[in-house]
Amino acid sequence: MSVAADAKSAVERPPPRARGWPRSRVIGYVLIGIWIAAGGGIVAYLVWAWNGELFAKYGPSYLEGLGVTLSLVGISIVLGAILSFPVAYARMSKNRILSGLAYCYVYFFRGTPLLVQAFLVYYGVGSFKPQLEMVGLWGFFREAFNCGVFAFALNTAAYQAEILRGAIESVPRGQWEGAASLGLHKLQTLWKIILPQALVVALRPYGNELILMIKASAIVAIITVYDLMGMAKLTYSRTFDIQAYIWVAVVYLVIVEILRHGIEWIERRITIHLKR
Angle at 46 between CA 45 and CA 51, to 5 degrees: 120
144 counts as binding another protein under rule CB under 8 A: no
Residue 122 Cβ, how far from another protein at the closest point, in Å? 9
Task: Work out how close the CB of 82 gets to another protein at its nearest, in angstroms, rounded to a whole number.
Answer: 24
Residue 147 engages another protein in binding (rule: CB under 8 A): no
- CB 232 to another protein: min, Å: 8
Residue 28 as a binder of another protein (CB under 8 A): the answer is yes
Name residue 73's amino acid: V
Q: Answer yes or no: are the C-beta atoms of 163 and 205 closer than 8 Å.
A: yes
N- to C-terminal Cα separation, the chain:
44
- Of 212-251, binders to another protein (CB under 8 A) are 214-219, 221-222, 229, 232-233, 236, 242, 245-246, 248-249
Applying CB under 8 A, does 268 fall inside the site for another protein? no
Among 64, 124, 132, 200, binds another protein (CB under 8 A): 124
3-state secondary structure at position 45: helix
The number of residues that bind another protein (CB under 8 A) is 51
136-152 burial, b if ≥16 CB within 10 A, otherwise e? eebeebeebbbbbbbbb
Whether the CB-CB separation of 157 and 83 falls below 8 Å is answered with yes
* Cβ 231 to another protein shortest distance, Å: 12
Cα 88 to Cα 85, 93, 164, 166, 188: the distances in Å are 5, 9, 7, 9, 18
Binding site for another protein (CB under 8 A): 15, 18, 22, 24-25, 27-29, 31-32, 34-35, 107-108, 111-117, 119-120, 123-128, 214-219, 221-222, 229, 232-233, 236, 242, 245-246, 248-249, 252-253, 256-257, 260
